[in-house]
Amino acid sequence: MEELITKLLEALGEDPARSGLRDTPKRVARSLQFLTQGYRADIDAVVNDALFEEDVRNMIIVRDIEVYSLCEHHMLPFFGRCHVGYIPSGKVIGVSKLPRIVDVFARRLQLQERLTKQIATTLKRVLDPIGVGVVIEARHLCMMMRGVEKQNSKMLTSSMLGLFRESQNTRNEFLHLIRMHEQMLS
């Protein structure tokens, strides 16, 4: 990878031997390995033994999970917040596992639309809940610093499965609860 990055620097018209760039190929390679570590992650190992039998039928939400990913079209970052909710059907997951699952899929070259769906379908598979809802709100540098250059634009995506899709009341409750914080700040 370092060799490719050296060639990239040369193709850009840079001198990879100059003092500020000497270690750049190594740093970029390490950075890309970190930013794409989701390819090497195993969801079942991430979840591990953090599934617990529990007779709970209430909606569980983890809101404002930070998301950092790379757009697969331009390899530029997109970042924002992910909100995850589910209604258990006999099993709950350790609360820290939800952000870890988000990170597994975010740490890949991604589309926000796919990322949202992958999180929801994974929770459906792992937990077999009554319903799952995932909403991501993100800013995309490929839109902000190039192309249309719209710095204030945000993209919203959602994936609703089970009762979150079938019941307007359940969906509304989830959407209301994830917006409560914003309403309290205004």
User: Is 2 part of the annotated catalytic residue set?
Assistant: no
Nearest to 69 by CA among 119, 8, 15: 119
- Beta bridge pairs of residue 84: 62, 134
User: Is 71 part of the annotated catalytic residue set?
Assistant: yes
User: Is 82 part of the annotated catalytic residue set?
Assistant: no
- Across 55-154, the runs of DSSP E, i.e. the strands, are 60-71, 77-87, 91-93, 109-110, 131-140
Residue of 82, 110, 118, 140 with catalytic role: 140
Residue of 2, 14, 137, 142 with catalytic role: 142
Residue of 2, 14, 74, 137 with catalytic role: 74
Residue of 54, 66, 72, 113 with catalytic role: 72
User: Is 72 part of the annotated catalytic residue set?
Assistant: yes
- Across 88-178, the runs of DSSP E, i.e. the strands, are 91-93, 109-110, 131-140, 155-162
Provide, for the chain, the percentages of residues in helix, strand and coil under a 3-state DSSP scheme, each rounded to the nearest 5: 45, 25, 30
Residue of 33, 37, 54, 73 with catalytic role: 73
Residue of 82, 83, 110, 112 with catalytic role: 112
Q: Which residues does the annotation mark as catalytic? A: 71-74, 112, 140, 142
